[in-house]
Amino acid sequence: MSSTPPSPFNISSTSSGKINPSLQHGNKFILTFPRVSNTQYFCQSVSMPGISLTEIPRNTPYVDLYSPGEKLIYEPFNVTFLVDEDLTAWKEIHDWMRGITFPTDYAEYAGLKDLSPFVNPNFPQFAEGILTVLSSSNKPHYKMRFIDSFPISLSSIIFSSTDTPDNIITADVTFRYSYFQLEFLY
């Protein structure tokens, strides 16, 4: 008698054998980015990046067929943060970007390692960021560790005389990274 292998789509064939019925809440996260601690403090939202896989076309006379490629493409990591009166978080990112590119003098790049005590002196342009997502009971459920992160975009700050005093200014920063590691904590 032959046995059929379990379907990958069968609920009972999951690796742990159990299903977590709790849905993820969008406001249960902690951003840990020691290099830019003020950005972490004023963080309002993050976008958990997606990934895609390259594909290889196989031409046939009738229809093109596709095979999986060999490279993963990671989407950028985006963070929205509040802007305080001293531009503290915005300036952290600005100074990091300016140090990476040293637009006026090599001393700016050389000083990059002095911008934060959490900088690897051998690779001062990179930093590690960690997005910890909490469970419905507010316990850390999993972490996304962003390896070799660096900022590629910092949004402008818009001032408007038509805004009400209740309107708080936010800014966005976009990070590139080599890859991320997903680690479940329980």
CA–CA–CA angle 57, 61, 67 (5° rounding): 20
CA gap 89, 104 in Å, rounded: 22
Q: Band of the pLDDT at 118, cuts 50, 70, 90?
A: confident
Q: With pLDDT > 90 as the criterion, what percentage of the chain qualifies?
A: 63
Which residue in the block uniquely carries the two structure tokens 């708080």? 168
Q: Report whether pLDDT(124) > 60.
A: yes
Q: Supply the pLDDT for residue 9.
A: 45
- Average pLDDT, integer, range 133-162: 94
Concatenated DSSP letters for 66-126? Answer: EEEEEEEEEPPEEEEEE--TT-HHHHHHHHHHHHHH-SS-HHHHHGGGGS-TT--TTSTT-
Backbone angles phi, psi at 36, to 5 degrees: -125, 70
- For the record, the structure tokens of 39 come out as 């950005």
CA gap 51, 11 in Å, rounded: 24
- On average, the pLDDT of the chain sits at 87
Helix (H) or strand (E) holding 173: strand 170-176
Q: Supply the pLDDT for residue 3.
A: 56
- For the record, the structure tokens of 6 come out as 């379990």
Each residue's pLDDT tens digit, 27-50: 899 999 888 988 888 999 999 999
Domains of the chain: 22-50+63-184 (2.30.110)
Q: Report whether pLDDT(7) > 70.
A: no
